Structure 1
Amino acid sequence: MTQRKHIRSIRNAAVVGVSTALLGVGAPVTASATSVGGPAPLAWSTCEGTGLDPRQQCATLDVPMDYADPGGPRIEMAVSRIPAEKPDARRGALLLIPGGPGGSSLNDPSKKGQKLPQDVRDRHDLIGFAPRGLAPSTPVDCGLEYGDLALSKLRPWPAPDGSVDANMATARRMADACARNGGELIKHLSTADEARDIDRLRAALGEQKISAWGVSYGTYVGAVYAQLFPHRTDRIVLDSNDDPDPARVSRGWLAGHEQGVEDTFPEFAAWAARPGNPDRVARRAAEVRPLFLRLAARLDREPIPWPGANPAELNGNVLRQTMLDSLYSPDTFPTLARLMRAAERGTVPPAPPSPPEDALQNVAAVGAGVLCGDVGWPGSAASYEKDVAVSRAAYPLTAGMPRNAMLCAAWPYPPREAPVRITGRGPSNVLLVQNERDVATPLTGARKLREAFGRRAVMVTVNSTGHDAYLANGNACGDATVSRFLSTGQRPDSDVYCR
C-alpha cells in the first residue's frame, strides 16, 4: 500500500489506547446540533496525488469547528468521489468510513472501493473523506517528541515489572505538548462531531439518505451516525466492530486486545510450527507461546540495539508490540516469526520503514484528540496499577498493556459531551460483519454492538482470522452476504454464521 499502509499501525495504536471511568461530561449529544443551515453544493475538481483512478474527483466542505457555536470558526473537510458507473441506475451515495481515529478514506474510492461488486459501483457514488483534523482537511498537530511517536509510547506498555510510573510521566509530557501545540481544534475532535460532519457531507451531496461501509473504528462512527441521524441512513455495513460501551468507549477497545490476542495467537502458533514454513519457529504449535514469552522476558532483561528503529532497541515490549501488529492479518504473521528468529540469534532485521514525521504527528494528534475527547480517563496511577496487575496475571501475552494508561490519563480538556449510547431506535437497516478471530476488534465486543442495536441489526459471523472481514480477511460466504445487501438491500432475516 501507500503511505497509508505505513501509518496503519500508528492508527491502530491510537484506536486502542484508552483507560477507565468517566470524568465530568456535558449535556447529551443531540442531532439538533447540526441544524445550522444547509451547506453549499460541493465544487468537484481533479484530485491531487498519484496512483488514483482518473475518475476520482475531490472537493472541500466547510463545517463548524464547534457545533455548539455554528456561527464561529470554520474548518475544512477534504472529500472525494467516484460517481456511479451507471447513472441511469443510480441509487445514491456509499460513504467509506475509515478506521482510526487517524485513518482517511480519501483515496478509498480509487482503492478498496474498486473491490466492491460491479452492481454496487454501478448504483452508488463512492465517497471518501479525511476526518476533521487529518490532512488535507484542516490539520492538527501536537508537536510530540520524536521518541513519543513510537508505537510503544502511543499505545504504552508497562515496565517489565508492571510499573506504570514511566507511562504516567510520558502521558503528562505528551498531553502537555498537545495542549501547547494543538490549538483550538484539538478540543473539537470527537466521534460525535465526525458524525455531524458526515451529515453535513450528506446534505452537501444532495442526498436525503446515505449508505455507508465503516471499518474498525469506522464502525463506531457509523453506529453513532445511525443513532444521531437514524432516518438519514440507507444501507449500513459495519465491518470489524467496536464495543460501543458508553461508560468506557475507547478504553474498552484497548481492553479488548486481551481477548483478541487470545483468540488469534493460536492461529499464528499453528502457522509458525507448520512443516515446510520457511519462517517456522518451533516444531509443535504448543511450543510457540512459551517461546514467545521466554523471548519477551529475555529482551526485557537484555535488549538488543536496533539502529534506525524507534525506539533504537529490540526490547520485550517492542517484541510484544510487533506481535500485536502482526496478528492483524495472516499475511503479516511472517513479520513476527522473523523477529522471533532474529531475537533467538541475538540479532535484529533491518529497521522497519517509517512514514514522514509530519504524517506521524498528524495521525497521533487526531488519535489523541478523539480518544481523549470522547470519554474521560482516570488520572490516578493507582487505578491503572491495579488493572495492569490483574491483566498481566490473566493475559501474559499482552503483559498489562490493554489496561494501561496512555496520554488521555493526563488530558487537560474534559469531554465536551457524554458519549452516545447506541440503541435499537431507528430503521432496521444495519448489517454487522465480524471475523471470529480478530485481534483488534474481538467477537466479544462485536456482540455488544449487535446487542445494543437490537432489532435494527443482524450480524454475519465469519469463521476466519484477521482484522477487516469484508473483501479482506473474511471468507466467500461473508463477502457474498454483505455484497448482496449493498447491491439489493436483501439482508438475512436473522444472525448467520459463515463457516
Structure 2
Amino acid sequence: MKRQRPVGRSSALAVVLGLGCSLVAVPAAADEPHAPQVRWGACPEDVVAEAAPTELECATVPVPVDYADPDSSPIDLMISRLASANPDERRGTLMLNPGGPGGSGLALPALLVARGLPAGVLDGYDLIGMDTRGIGHSAPVGCGFAPDGPYNANIPPYAVDDAAVTAQAKVAEQVARQCAHHDRDGVLRHLTTANTARDLDRIRAALGEEKTSYLGYSYGTALGAAYASMFPERSDRIVLDSNIGDTHLDRDGMRRYALGMEQSFPDFAKWAAARHDSYGLGRTPAQVRRNHLALAGRLDRTPVAGVDGNLLRLSTFGLLFKRTQYPKLAQLWQTLADGDGTAARLLPQNATTEKPTSFDNSLSVFLAVTCNDIEWPKSVDTYRHGVAEDRERYPLFGAAAANITPCAFWPYTPAEPPVAVDDDGPRNVLLVQNLRDAPTPHLGGKMLRQKFADRSRLLSVDDGGHGVYVLGDNACALNITTRYLVEGRMPGKDTLCQAG
C-alpha cells in the first residue's frame, strides 16, 4: 500500500471475485533450527547511509523462488540486525516491515530508533529489518517503468468520466504485458504475501529462534496476519499497525482508500479553516471542502503548470498521511488556486524524484504482490460501475481508488488462494489503528479483529494519520503497545485511546 518513511514514500500512493485454480501443495514451515545459520557482516553503502548514525549488521538468507518446487533455484534475501542493547534482557527477535508491498526495510531498525523506539524494546529484542523478496538487495525485480511514463503511481488516475476508465484500461493492459515481458527469470510470478510469510519463517529458523515477534505497518499488517495465520505456533508477540483488513490487498481494499480520505480530510479542513487568513482555503471546514472540489474540477479542465485535477487529488491523499504535512498541502492549494506556475515545485516528493531503478523496483513489487495474491475482476465494465458508484459516495477520491488497475490484465493466475486468517492460535495479535487514516481506514482494524476473533485485541486511537506506534504522538497507544512488546501484557479488551 502506499507508504511513507518509514511506512513508505511521501507522495500520493501506495495501499477478488474468486480463484480459477486449486491450492498448490507447499511446505508450511522451515525445518526447526539447531543453531544460527546467519553470518553477520557489513551492510551495503546505501543502507549504511540511510541508517546513520545507527550502525546495523547485514546478512543473507537463501530461500526457494518457488516453495512448490523444492528444486527451484534459491534467491538470497538480505536482512539487517540491530542487536539487543542489553543481552541480559534479550527475549528474542522482532521482525519489522515498513509496508508497501515494495518498501525496503533494511534501515527500518535505525529509523525507528531515530523516532524514539523505547529502550525496553531495544533491550528486549534484536531488531530484524529486511528487503523482502523482489525488493532492493533481495533479488530485485522490475517491469521497466520510468517516472515519466504513463504508469507512474500505484493508484490509478481519477476518472472524471466513463471515457477516462476506458483510457486507463488501455494503459493498464500495456503495463501487464510489459511486466510479463520483463519477467525473464520467472521471479515476478512468485512474489506473493504467502511466499513472503514462508520467507519470514526461513529467516526465523536461520536465526536459530523457535519463535519470532513481529511489528508491521500498513501492508506489513497483511504480511504479519499471514505469518500469524500460517505459523501460529512460531509467532510470538505480533503488532499490526494501520491495518488493511486482510492478508492481501484486493479491489475492495483499494476502494477503501476513498473511504479513508473522506474520513481524514475533515482534520485538514478544520486545520485550514483556522488558518484562513494565511492560506485563504475557506473560513469553515465546509468551505474548505467545497473549495477543494471546485479547484480539482477546474484543474481537470485547465491544468496549472502541468498539475491537473488528478495530480491534486493524488497529492492531497498523500499529504493527509501526517499532520506535519498540512502546511505543505495548504501551500500547494494556495499556489494552484492563484494559477501560479511555480506550483510544480511545491508538489510533495514523489516517485518522479526517486532514482529510476528504485521507482521501477518499488512499483513493480507492489503490482506483482497485489496481482499475484488474488484474482481481480477482468471486465472493464466492473470498474466503470465502481467508479460511478464511488464518485458519488466518496467525491474526494472515489473515482481514483475504484478505477481499473493492471491486475485486471495480469498474465499470471494466482498459484493458491490468499492466506485465510486463522483464529485458532494464541492470543498474541495486537491491532493498532487510528480512527482516521487515509490509506488504511479504521474499518481495516475492525475487519481483522473480527477475523482473528479472540486471538486479537484492537487498540483504537482518536487521531488521524498513517502509523501509530512510535510514528504517532499518542502516549496511551505508545504505552500500551510497548507494554505488550516488553512485558507481554495484552489489553483484556478492545481499547480506545483518547486524543492527546
TM-score (norm 2): 0.91
2-structure distance, mates of 1:55, 1:300: 48
| Aligned residue in 1 for 2:244 | 242
Pair 1:465-2:456 in alignment: no
2-structure distance, mates of 1:485, 1:29: 35
2-structure distance, mates of 1:11, 1:134: 19
| Aligned residue in 1 for 2:486 | 487
Cα deviation code 1:221-249 (max 9, x no counterpart): 00000000001011111100111177xx4
| Aligned residue in 1 for 2:368 | 369
Pair 1:134-2:135 in alignment: yes
User: CA 1:421 to 1:262, structure 2 compared with 1: closer, same or farther past 3 Å?
Assistant: same
Contact persistence 1:64–1:75 (CA under 8 A) = yes
Write out aligned runs for 1:444-463 (5 A).
444-463=443-462
User: CA 1:25 to 1:148, structure 2 compared with 1: closer, same or farther past 3 Å?
Assistant: farther
**Higher alpha-carbon deviation: 470-479 or 99-108:** 470-479
2:198 to 196, 199, 207: 196
Contact persistence 2:159–2:400 (CA under 8 A) = no
Tell me the CA shift for residue 90 of structure 1: 1.3
User: CA 1:292 to 1:8, structure 2 compared with 1: closer, same or farther past 3 Å?
Assistant: same
Tell me the CA shift for residue 349 of structure 1: 2.4
| Aligned residue in 1 for 2:8 | 8
Contact persistence 2:254–2:401 (CA under 8 A) = yes
Amino acid across the alignment from 1:118: A
1-structure distance, mates of 2:302, 2:438: 28
1-structure distance, mates of 2:12, 2:245: 15
1-structure distance, mates of 2:250, 2:149: 20
User: CA 1:437 to 1:459, structure 2 compared with 1: closer, same or farther past 3 Å?
Assistant: same
Tell me the CA shift for residue 486 of structure 1: 0.7
| Aligned residue in 1 for 2:211 | 209
Amino acid across the alignment from 1:346: G
Contact persistence 2:222–2:247 (CA under 8 A) = no
1-structure distance, mates of 2:461, 2:300: 37
**Higher alpha-carbon deviation: 333-342 or 285-294:** 333-342
Contact persistence 1:109–1:127 (CA under 8 A) = yes
Contact persistence 1:212–1:237 (CA under 8 A) = yes
User: CA 1:193 to 1:277, structure 2 compared with 1: closer, same or farther past 3 Å?
Assistant: farther
SS in 2 for 1:304: coil
Amino acid across the alignment from 1:325: G
User: CA 1:64 to 1:317, structure 2 compared with 1: closer, same or farther past 3 Å?
Assistant: same
Tell me the CA shift for residue 38 of structure 1: 8.7
1-structure distance, mates of 2:408, 2:183: 17
Tell me the CA shift for residue 54 of structure 1: 5.2
Give the total of aligned pairs. Answer: 483
2-structure distance, mates of 1:145, 1:54: 33
| Aligned residue in 1 for 2:357 | 358
Pair 1:329-2:329 in alignment: no
Write out aligned runs for 1:32-431 (5 A).
32=28, 34=30, 41-49=37-45, 50=49, 51-53=51-53, 55-113=55-113, 115-148=116-149, 151=152, 153-163=153-163, 164-183=165-184, 184-244=186-246, 249-275=249-275, 278-305=278-305, 313-347=306-340, 348-351=342-345, 352=347, 353=349, 354-431=353-430
Contact persistence 2:29–2:201 (CA under 8 A) = no
Tell me the CA shift for residue 28 of structure 1: 6.2
Cα deviation code 1:409-461 (max 9, x no counterpart): 11111111101111311111111111001111111121000110001001111
2-structure distance, mates of 1:470, 1:486: 11
Contact persistence 1:59–1:79 (CA under 8 A) = yes
| Aligned residue in 2 for 1:309 | none
Superposed CA RMSD in Å reads: 2.3
User: CA 1:96 to 1:262, structure 2 compared with 1: closer, same or farther past 3 Å?
Assistant: same
2:18 to 11, 22, 42: 22
Contact persistence 1:98–1:218 (CA under 8 A) = yes
Contact persistence 1:11–1:102 (CA under 8 A) = no
- The unaligned stretches of length 5 or more in structure 1 are 306-312
Cα deviation code 1:104-145 (max 9, x no counterpart): 210012221452211211121010000100011111010124
Amino acid across the alignment from 2:236: D
Amino acid across the alignment from 2:100: G
- The unaligned stretches of length 5 or more in structure 2 are none
User: CA 1:477 to 1:10, structure 2 compared with 1: closer, same or farther past 3 Å?
Assistant: closer
| Aligned residue in 2 for 1:308 | none
Contact persistence 2:374–2:417 (CA under 8 A) = yes
User: CA 1:204 to 1:162, structure 2 compared with 1: closer, same or farther past 3 Å?
Assistant: same
Contact persistence 1:134–1:362 (CA under 8 A) = yes
